[in-house]
Structure 1
Amino acid sequence: MSKYEEYDYVIIGAGIAGCSTAYFLSKYSKSILLIDKNEKVAFGASGAAGAFLSPLLGKTNNFKDLITKSLKFSTQFYKDINSKSLSNCGVCRIPKNDEDRKKFESYKDYMDFEYSVLDDGYFFEIGSQINPSEVCELLTKDIDKKLNYEIKEFDRNEDNSWIINKEIKAKNIILTTGANTKLIKEEYFDIRAVWGQKIDVLTSSCTDINYHKACSVSKAIKIDDNIYKVSIGATHHRFDCDKNICDYCVQVANLNKNCSNCYSKSIVNEDSLKLIDLANDIVKLEDIKVVDVKIGPRASSTDYFPMLGKLVDSKRSFEKFPHLINGTHIKDEMLEMIDNLYVINGVGGRGFVLSPYLANQLVENIINKSKIDETITTHRLFKRWAKKQKHKK
């Protein structure tokens, strides 16, 4: 009898990316374990998300195409899983200033979704919002979980499987840990935390749709006579911490129960007041009372595109192709990869738009060997990093 708990797939990170991956994998396997350092699913950055689903405006490019495909996929996905919290009420996108309005006007020929002019902005019927906890719990209701579980050791076994904390054996590991990249030892895998905050307020004002300007404001939920709950969210801070010295804010568990050393209560309170001011610049909210505040580090890549698939093994790739350091072009499929280790990361502030689409893509790649678009694989980050190593030497 094995001394380990054994699984075919261990997913580390129970935000929307990890929960979506578990859901799609469960169509092919029953041997799945979902691990998270927090006490609940969607208790980190995903729980602090406004979870708004909104179009990206702009001229045609690869990133916008990715967001458009993801938005169509994810909106239908949340409907298909019968999410009780999905509110497909539409969103009014409002320009921040005259310069922003000119940009909006220039984007009209490139709109991917139907819209109409509404007051001072543009109304998109596809705009939606969901509740992070409800959706993540729904996706993982039949999945084995280890929550409040800290990973201290993470090593390759002689049979090419992975051993976690000398307790769990996994044939495959999928890392969906967001801004906390301590388990990824590759230097090229550069992720920055952009901190976001969401507040729920009670108000006597009733909003009928979602709004987005400098922050996002949700459709109101009626609580009692003349009392409504409204969510307000935005991305705020990049802290210039040296992750090699201190990465406490990103790594601490159950952050929303215990404010961290750096992201203090004073910052949280100050940002709540800013969010209320930004919301009132969109729609006037009367008799506001803040009833819930959540913060979280949203994982952003250097080029804003997400990362999907296996990790490039930089050491073995350099050994095989020493001239990579001179910028020599090597086909992606020729690079050495880390077997049985996959990632979804870098979804930024659009996690609930991107994650279901990316999770489905990854699972189809793992199970059915379908190709992942080169714009979202880890190869691009490795190649850019490799070219810089000659200068460093």
Structure 2
Amino acid sequence: MPVTTEYDVVIVGAGPAGTACALALRHSGRRVALVDKARFPRDKICGDAIPSPTLKLLACLDPSYATELHALLALHRAPTTHSRLLAPSGEELRIAWHNPAFNSPRLHFDEALLTLVRRHTATELLEGYAICSLQTDEHGITLTPTDSTQRPLRAALVIGCDGANSVVARSLGPPTALDRAYHCAAVRAYYKEVADAPEDTSDFYFLREYRAGYCWVFPVGGGVYNVGFGMLSEEVAARRLNLRHELSELLATHPHLAPRFAKAEALTSITGFGLPLGGSNRPVHGLRTLLCGDAAALIDPLQGHGIDKAVHSGILAAAQVVACFQAQRFDADFLASYAQQIKQRIGRELAQRYRLMRFLAGKPWLVDLVVRAARWRWLRRRLVRAVG
């Protein structure tokens, strides 16, 4: 039997959920490993929006984290103080946000979070470590790498922060079919020389010909824009849509987008990704195992982002880790308190937003009405609260 390396906790996935969990365990006294199949910095296909609660949550762990993060990303972020919403009718609404938020390419944002882990914790970082399988017994979990030259890992607890295709989540039970009603498909590319594109404004295009979804143009700093299109996977499948083709057509022919992209330069090809939406009651725990972020399907169904939820769930998982070692209990019944925390603090909100998304889907006239009515200040305030 191969020799294993022993840890108290192994966090699988070094994105926002995994790094937040490692930061939250800084003073736990536990031996923690943070493993990722990639070597950083690495790209992560995403819309690159960093919602304002992300910074608040990190600042609650340590006020210096938010300050350092801003400094690390000085050349790779765009503070977003406004959003423009274009209704299916073509009517435009501009919204000012009061809480600080920004956009930043995940290539740089995730590397900055990992820098905080390196600076402030004793976490052992294992990059380029892909996991083939997990085997759980009454004493712990063994993680076997795909590379036979690397040592297996052994831990009392495993925190799965390894994204939408989580190998940790798959270890909790037999595979289930993709539920396209709770899944979003999206594509993204980077552009420069986009016209009418203020660096402080994120644009959302709601389109009459597509039901649950939108096109976006997000500044990410340095004159670069994250441009994408996402929609509910059940519609993509039903209509046999090729989202790469659909985005290209939108940028070339849409009456509002085409003039903006007439002289734009594509910096990357259009690439696709999938997002498991919140509200599905997907399991988030098992024997000696917790799931966070995308692995736990904590994506906002209304806006499609999940970085703030990933960070929040990572912090909640760290609190559960501390409780487990204090009680010396790692069974699923004890870990169910984490699932309850996720439901109360994150899940209920996501379920409400899923219902709102489904209510608006297929009703372009209603989106038109909401945008038109939001010109009244008191209704705009309600809209801002509703969409976060």
Shorter-normalised TM-score: what interval? 0.5 to 0.7
The residue type paired with residue 298 of structure 2 is: V
What is aligned with 1:314? Answer: none
What SS is found at the alignment partner of 1:365? helix
Q: Which residue type is aligned with residue 196 of structure 1?
A: A
- How far did 1:155 drift? 0.8
SS at match of 2:112: helix
Aligned residue runs from structure 1 range 175-186, under 5 A = 175-182=160-167, 183-186=170-173
Task: Indicate whether 1:343 and 2:291 are aligned.
Answer: yes
Aligned counterpart in structure 2 of residue 197 of structure 1, from 187, 210, 215: 187
18-27 vs 354-363, greater mean Cα deviation: 18-27
Q: Secondary structure at the match of 1:79?
A: helix
What SS class does the counterpart of residue 19 from structure 1 fall into? Answer: helix
**How far apart, in 2, do the equivalents of 1:27 and 1:86 lie?**
30
Amino acid at match of 1:155: Q
The aligned counterpart of 2:224 is: 229
- Cα deviation for residue 128 of structure 1 reads 2.2
User: Tell me, what secondary structure is at the counterpart of 1:219?
Assistant: strand
SS in 1 for 2:47: coil
Task: Classify the secondary structure of the residue corresponding to 1:137.
Answer: helix
Q: 1:357 to 1:292 in 2, by over 3 A?
A: same
Is the aligned partner of 1:120 residue 2:93?
A: yes
Contact 2:80 2:202 in 1 (8 A): no
Aligned equivalents of 1:137, 1:188: Cα separation in 2: 31
Which one of 57, 60, 66 corresponds to residue 73 of structure 1?
57
Q: Contact 1:9–1:170 at 8 Å: present in 2 too? A: yes
Q: Which residue of 2 aligns with 1:4?
A: 4
Counterpart amino acid of 2:307? F
Flag structure 2 segments of 5+ consecutive residues without an equivalent.
146-150, 205-213, 325-334, 349-388
**Structural mapping, 1:250-329, within 5 Å:** 268=244, 270-274=246-250, 280-281=256-257, 284-293=260-269, 294-301=271-278, 303=279, 308=284, 310-311=285-286
Q: Cα distance, 1:163 vs. partner?
A: 4.1
Identity among equivalent positions (%) equals: 13
- Map 1:1-393 to 2 at 5 A: 3-29=3-29, 31-40=31-40, 43=43, 47-53=44-50, 72-73=56-57, 79-83=66-70, 84=73, 85-97=76-88, 120-126=93-99, 127-141=101-115, 142=118, 143-157=123-137, 159-165=139-145, 167-182=152-167, 183-186=170-173, 192=179, 193-203=183-193, 205=195, 206-213=197-204, 214-219=214-219, 221-222=221-222, 228-236=223-231, 238=233, 268=244, 270-274=246-250, 280-281=256-257, 284-293=260-269, 294-301=271-278, 303=279, 308=284, 310-311=285-286, 338=287, 340-344=288-292, 345-348=296-299, 349-368=304-323, 372=338, 374=340, 376-377=342-343
Structure having the larger proportion of residues in helix: 2
CA deviation after TM superposition for structure 1 residue 288, in Å: 0.9
AA of the residue aligned to 1:351: G
3-state secondary structure, aligned to 1:92: strand
Which residue of structure 2 aligns with residue 247 of structure 1? Answer: none
The farther-off stretch of 20-29 and 69-78 is 69-78
Contact 2:140 2:157 in 1 (8 A): no
SS of the aligned residue for 2:10 comes to: strand
Q: Distance in 1 between matches of 2:111 and 2:263?
A: 32
- Say if 2:84 and 2:203, in contact at 8 Å, map to a contact too: yes
CA shift for structure 1 position 42: 5.4
Q: Quick check: 1:199–1:272 contact (8 Å CA) kept in 2?
A: no
Q: CA deviation at 1:157?
A: 4.2
Q: Which runs of 5+ in 1 are unaligned?
A: 56-68, 102-118, 223-227, 243-262, 312-337, 382-393
Q: Per-residue deviation at 1:25?
A: 2.4
State how far apart, in whole Å, the 2-side matches of 1:6 and 1:49 are: 34
- Output the aligned Cα RMSD: 4.2
| 1:152-177 alpha-carbon deviations (Å, 9 max, x no partner) | 23112453343434721112101122
Shift of 1:352: 1.6
Cα shift at 1:81: 3.7
CA contact (8 A) 1:5 1:167 kept: yes
Contact 2:186–2:243 (8 Å) recurs in 1: no
Aligned length: 290
Indicate if the aligned counterparts of 2:159 and 2:291 stay in contact, CA closer than 8 A: yes
Q: Deviations over 1:324-367 (max 9, x none)?
A: xxxxxxxxxxxxxx1x2111121223222211122112212322
Q: Secondary structure at the match of 1:292?
A: coil
Distance 2:252 2:114 in 1: 34
Deviation per CA, 1:179-237: give whole Å up to 9, x if none: 21453333598875523222110216352322232333223644xxxxx3222133246
Partner of 1:249: none
Aligned equivalents of 1:188, 1:151: Cα separation in 2: 17
Conserved? CA contact 1:14–1:36, under 8 Å: yes
